[in-house]
Amino acid sequence: MNPSQKRKAVEEALMPFINGKTLANALILWDEKYAHQPTFALQHFLRELCNDLEIAHMRSRMLQALVSTFSSMQDDRHHRTVEHPPIKHNTVHTAKTSSSPILLMFMALVEQLIDTPGGDASTRIRLYVLENLTKISLPTHERWAFHGWLNQMAPLTGTTPNINTMQQVINLAYVALCEYLGPIKADQILQSTVSNVQKQHLTTNVQSLL
């Protein structure tokens, strides 16, 4: 996508959430600091934009909208298929026939680590993992697959992350738990989640992911 297409995508994605001067200022921020950065700078753009407490509570939904809009506005269908997998509103259960047991266990583990705290804490933890994905070396198509999954828009299918990558994502979720809930609570959630996931996936050893 060229800069003008990216700007159009940003405007379309943000219009349901902000308008008027707030939207104009958001586009100025985008033009001045983020228009020529990689698409994965979206999280950093939103983090700066949402310093305004009046819109901070919408940050997670705004990020979903941005990722979805950027994906749908790709000009070349083949390019979109390779680099930005189409978003399909399937459940994780639907994908079981095409995902390996270890990948299914990984998805269950991360989703439970993020969702267990509930409410705003879960939102902050999810955003932390999304923002820090840039620290993990990933092929472009795989990074977009992770974005779609972590934004709760699609299961993690069509990709085969290695064990090291899965361990790094789990570690991000754990670090986020420590950051927002403290290490004692984080350890409790991790132990409980590991136990629950192992009971749900008897044929695969969860310790291989830790």
Q: How far is CA 157 from CA 23, 90, 109, 169, 174, in A?
A: 34, 10, 16, 16, 23
Residue 142 banded pLDDT, cuts 50, 70, 90: confident
pLDDT recorded at residue 103 = 87
Report, as an integer, the average pLDDT of 153-177.
Answer: 84
d(CA 135, CA 175): 13
Map residue 38 onto helix, strand or coil.
coil
Question: Is the pLDDT score of 83 beyond 50?
Answer: no
Higher pLDDT pick, 42 / 93? 42
Rg (CA), the chain: 18
Fill in the amino acid letter for 79: H
